[in-house]
Structure 1
Amino acid sequence: MDVAIIGAGPTGLALALELGRAGASVLVVEAAAERNRQSRASGIQPRTTEVLQMRGLLSAMQPYVRSREQIGGHFAGLPVPLDTTPFGSRFPVPVSIGQYDLECVLEAELAAFPQVELWRGAALTDLQQLDDGVTGVVRSTAETRQIRADYLIGADGAHSRVRRLAEIGFPGRAGLVAMAACDIRLSGVEDETPGHFSRYLHPHADGLAILSPLGNGVHRLLFGGSEQQGLDRNTPVGRDEVQRALTAACGPDVGLVEILHASRFSDASRQAETYRKGRVLLAGDAAHIHLPAGGQGINLGIQDAMNLGWKLGAVVAGRLPQSVLDSYHTERHPVAERVLVNTRAQGLLMGADHPDLGALRSVFTDLLRLPDANRYLSGMVSGLDTRYPMPGTAHPLLGLRMPDLPIADETADAGHRSGAGRRHLSDLQHRGDGLLVDLGAGLPGWATEAVRDVPGVTIATVAGPVDDDLPGLALVRPDGHVCATDAGGPDELAAALQLWFGASMPTDTRPRSACNELVR
């Protein structure tokens, strides 16, 4: 097989979809026999919504999306919503969908790719790297299977067995604060439409509780206090423990009716030393763990999958060299590192063990009311400001996400109509294609000639006027990030096409030495 993926959470399933679109043969191995129904992640950030829209998944998600107030996300539960409107996203607020439901959507999409197999109730017990692949042993209660794949991806969570077997370091710090999470039914509390996170924080003398509605009479409770410290993560979350936390946070009138699901977690903050070791790669929580503050964990994982999936698919298909996989670590490691920093900061601001914490929160709340400060934090938490290092002449858009602009009614790829009725650039990337975007100036002949024989690149023309700070043209990778503009002229466009799409270099174009620096 081409790729084995260990772990069938959102990251593993999103990776399997990307590789399936590329035609790769994939085995997805999941230790759990059944999908976890606990709420865990309960929403996706604007950039992740954009990414899912790029693959045509939002329509399938709609039946599972919970209605919510159209209000921005939060930083440390402070009462000023994060405003992402300066980033020009079509999806400026988080989308409320449970992790279980999102996994259902992703798994259903896999049915379109018969070469992708999902094996539940089986665990990887051994792996060995070879020069040309990876071998492993996978065991279930019914069978033991020897597997061999060209590449193996660990998407198996915070306690990743792949990471340990591959001997990849996981530096950082252990958890300082222990908490519990549970989905519960209550008495004395009305169900409500989800709103801004700040209304759900209940600090009290012994700790903090966060009580938020999930719909259908179910609430999610996260809580931590002196009672939770020092408990093993496998210790069951008891009914009396939950009722004490509810009473401390909400008073005696709120009663526990039923615990549906429960687990324990901490604010441990760690990151893998490398996301790639030979033919083994890490993604999602296997590569980074942090306090679940601001709803960033599931988003990091899905965006890891989007960054890695199309690259690995192109490598497996022989369109790109293995060296391009090094750019996965180069691009994604700093993004997660930044999240680890901001979640540690949020943990301090949401704490309850310092007498001056209220003053600090007051200062931060005032800062969030300043447009520039709000933009900085909203871009960070939403993922909309992520910029990847790209070789080439500097332009404000280079390395950033391409805004999902409306497109002209008629647009074409290299000699073929891309179809009628599509309205935005993302509609042209459902198959995982790249784009050469005409932003209104008209594509010069050298640009159209450069992509004429490059598979997987669609030419698109933006409809209507565009902002003056946008370039005349942009080359967009399958993950939606701009990898070249007209600022660099024909040479840089040709170099980017070779680096990211495997195009042959014209004989009169200089070697791509600058591009080589990125993936060396």
Structure 2
Amino acid sequence: MHNSNADDAALTTDVVVVGGGPVGLMLAGELRAGGVGALVLEKLVEPVGHDRAGALHIRTVETLDLRGLLDRFLEGTQVAKGLPFAGIFTQGLDFGLVDTRHPYTGLVPQSRTEALLAEHAREAGAEIPRGHEVTRLRQDAEAVEVTVAGPSGPYPVRARYGVGCDGGRSTVRRLAADRFPGTEATVRALIGYVTTPEREVPRRWERTPDGILVLAFPPEGGLGPGWSSSSTGHSPAADEGPVTLEDLGAAVARVRGTPLTLTEPVSWLSRFGDASRQAKRYRSGRVLLAGDAAHVHFPIGGQGLNTGLQDAVNLGWKLAARVRGWGSEELLDTYHDERHPVAERVLLNTRAQLALMRPDEQHTTPLRGFVEELLGTDEVNRYFTGMITGTDVRYATFAPAASARPHPWPGRFAGGLVLSRPSGEPVPVAELLRSARPLLLDLAGRADLREATRPWSDRVSVVAGEATVEPPAQALLVRPDGYVAWAGSPAATADELRASLARWFGPPANREPVGHQERAGRRGRPLSALKPE
């Protein structure tokens, strides 16, 4: 376990998170759940307030349920039971085909997601100062040190690890000299949250010979007088620079074929493209990347925010374990090993969807018709739905030891299982993971497996009950992020379980077990105590 030493005195916090958007805030909450200190530095004094990302997909919904946050997010929120693929509405994705307790996407504006995650992180004990920008970064064998430009002048922050959650133009990634290879943008798009006095504007997605247009209305209501609209016009060569209301109006008219009156107030105007990039490595020593700092792509299918939030949940418990001393370097490396392929696939499918959206009647339109036909079959629809909603993720870092017998469950998400306790009361496994503490689910009364877990009782809880799982398993070892680390067949031995416990949750304790709150985590010196250089 982590022991304080002389080096700790010089530390500001355990982990400095750069970027106070949803990904950084989710990570801060996970770090605090793991018992370590988290300081989130956000350069913006106030949230931007835009809602470019407004969909929380099934796996994110399931993850919020793991932490007891789902009710906050669903309060007053509309949900969607399906979504289009590449703008194909006539035969969209069917969430009813997914094996989940939550077959829907939550239509939560990004600004609300950010506010709720900030609330959660602060409740957990994270510090989140705004108006504090990182300008320099260096690391040594013991820590990461950043120089921060704060309201009262520059000051240093020293932490055991640093994580860049600061977006596609990540300062952390640049300062750490991490490569960000990929493809340049070939399509430019304009987006705006504006108002229109026109009352008969259809809420729809249009693909025309001159581009693509999306007209939508925020679920929370209007932004001003008249109808509110979110409009995206695509054009191959828009200029860089600030977007004006006239720019957006011209793009909408060109794509739509007829003008649409756009008026003040304007909540937000921006541009984006289809550049597709991914960091070569998500970890460079003591510096890690998550969310858009690690991967950017065309925002089709609402996958960017969801992928970033899953990055945070995968990284949080591993980084906390490393700081506390029982997590190995190899464990921390599995963050890249598990999450890099997931984002790589997101980049691939967003490029494929954009190719299907191009306004090419001779080639693309027939292909769209073919894909639409395929989406009408359950097997194909389930495949695409799992890909977009993140429910098909199965991590491939669970190769068993040579003596172990392979089982299909390791790497799969178990947060959706429901356990029947001896009392007969059904308990969702998601509720058992609220504390972000690993679980051994004893599904067959295996006293030998429960006993084997005893030396890890300071880190791992044991819960007995019954659950119908296919293929059958007598026990499941579940990580804090809800994924199965080990599954026991009827022939499974205690030694196999011990090997998996050691791999994922460190060596057994060499002292009497104590409660898992034995180290509350360093919150760090308050910023008011940090003097400018």
TM interval, short-chain normalised: 0.7 to 0.9
1:370 corresponds, among 362, 372, 377, to: 377
Q: CA deviation at 1:431?
A: 0.9
Secondary structure of residue in 2 paired with 1:214: coil
Between the aligned partners of 2:154 and 2:186, the Cα distance in structure 1 is: 39
Pairing 1:115-134 to 2, within 5 Å after superposition: 116-134=126-144
Question: Are residues 1:318 and 2:325 paired?
Answer: yes
Question: Are residues 1:167 and 2:167 paired?
Answer: no
Closer/same/farther in 2, CA of residues 278 and 16 from structure 1, 3 Å limit: same
2:120 corresponds, among 109, 131, 147, to: 109
2:522 equivalent in structure 1: none
CA contact (8 A) 2:74 2:106 kept: no
| Structure 2 residue runs without a partner (length 5+) | 1-12, 223-227, 511-533
Closer/same/farther in 2, CA of residues 83 and 399 from structure 1, 3 Å limit: same
CA contact (8 A) 1:213 1:220 kept: yes
CA deviations on 1:479-510 (whole Å, 9 max, x unpaired) are 1111101135323211111121224299xxxx
Secondary structure of residue in 2 paired with 1:120: coil
Instruction: Out of 93-102 and 75-84, give the one that drifted further.
Output: 75-84
**Counterpart residue identity of residue 57, structure 1:** L
Pairing 1:49-128 to 2, within 5 Å after superposition: 49-63=61-75, 65=77, 67-68=78-79, 70-79=80-89, 80-114=91-125, 116-128=126-138
CA contact (8 A) 1:246 1:255 kept: no
**Counterpart residue identity of residue 241, structure 1:** D
2:213 equivalent in structure 1: 209
CA contact (8 A) 1:428 1:458 kept: no
Question: Are residues 1:245 and 2:248 paired?
Answer: no
1:143 corresponds, among 144, 149, 153, to: 153
1:28 corresponds, among 36, 40, 54, to: 40
2:530 equivalent in structure 1: none
CA deviations on 1:322-367 (whole Å, 9 max, x unpaired) are 3311110011101111111001000111111453211010000011
Secondary structure of residue in 1 paired with 2:94: coil
Q: CA deviation at 1:29?
A: 0.6
CA contact (8 A) 2:190 2:269 kept: yes
Pairing 1:108-507 to 2, within 5 Å after superposition: 108-114=119-125, 116-189=126-199, 200-215=204-219, 216-217=221-222, 218-226=228-236, 229-232=237-240, 235-250=241-256, 252=258, 254-258=260-264, 259-353=266-360, 355-389=362-396, 390-392=398-400, 393-409=405-421, 423-439=427-443, 442-454=444-456, 455-462=458-465, 466-487=468-489, 488-504=492-508
| Structure 1 residue runs without a partner (length 5+) | 193-198, 412-419, 507-520
Between the aligned partners of 1:375 and 1:337, the Cα distance in structure 2 is: 20
Q: CA deviation at 1:467?
A: 4.3
**Counterpart residue identity of residue 325, structure 2:** G
Closer/same/farther in 2, CA of residues 317 and 467 from structure 1, 3 Å limit: closer
Q: CA deviation at 1:395?
A: 2.2
CA contact (8 A) 2:191 2:248 kept: no
Secondary structure of residue in 1 paired with 2:418: coil
Secondary structure of residue in 2 paired with 1:8: coil
CA contact (8 A) 2:97 2:378 kept: no
Closer/same/farther in 2, CA of residues 140 and 406 from structure 1, 3 Å limit: same
Over aligned residue pairs, what C-alpha RMSD do you find?
Answer: 2.2
Matched pairs, number:
482
Q: CA deviation at 1:443?
A: 2.9
**Counterpart residue identity of residue 485, structure 2:** C
**Counterpart residue identity of residue 459, structure 1:** V
Secondary structure of residue in 2 paired with 1:407: strand
Instruction: Out of 104-113 and 295-304, give the one that drifted further.
Output: 104-113
Q: CA deviation at 1:51?
A: 0.7
**Structure with bigger RCO (C-alpha 8 Å, 6+ apart):** 2
TM-score (norm 1): 0.88
TM-score (norm 2): 0.86
1:15 corresponds, among 27, 48, 63, to: 27
Instruction: Out of 315-324 and 103-112, give the one that drifted further.
Output: 315-324
Secondary structure of residue in 2 paired with 1:60: helix
Between the aligned partners of 2:319 and 2:358, the Cα distance in structure 1 is: 41
Q: CA deviation at 1:452?
A: 2.4
**Counterpart residue identity of residue 130, structure 2:** R
Q: CA deviation at 1:127?
A: 0.7
Between the aligned partners of 1:40 and 1:238, the Cα distance in structure 2 is: 17
**Counterpart residue identity of residue 105, structure 1:** L
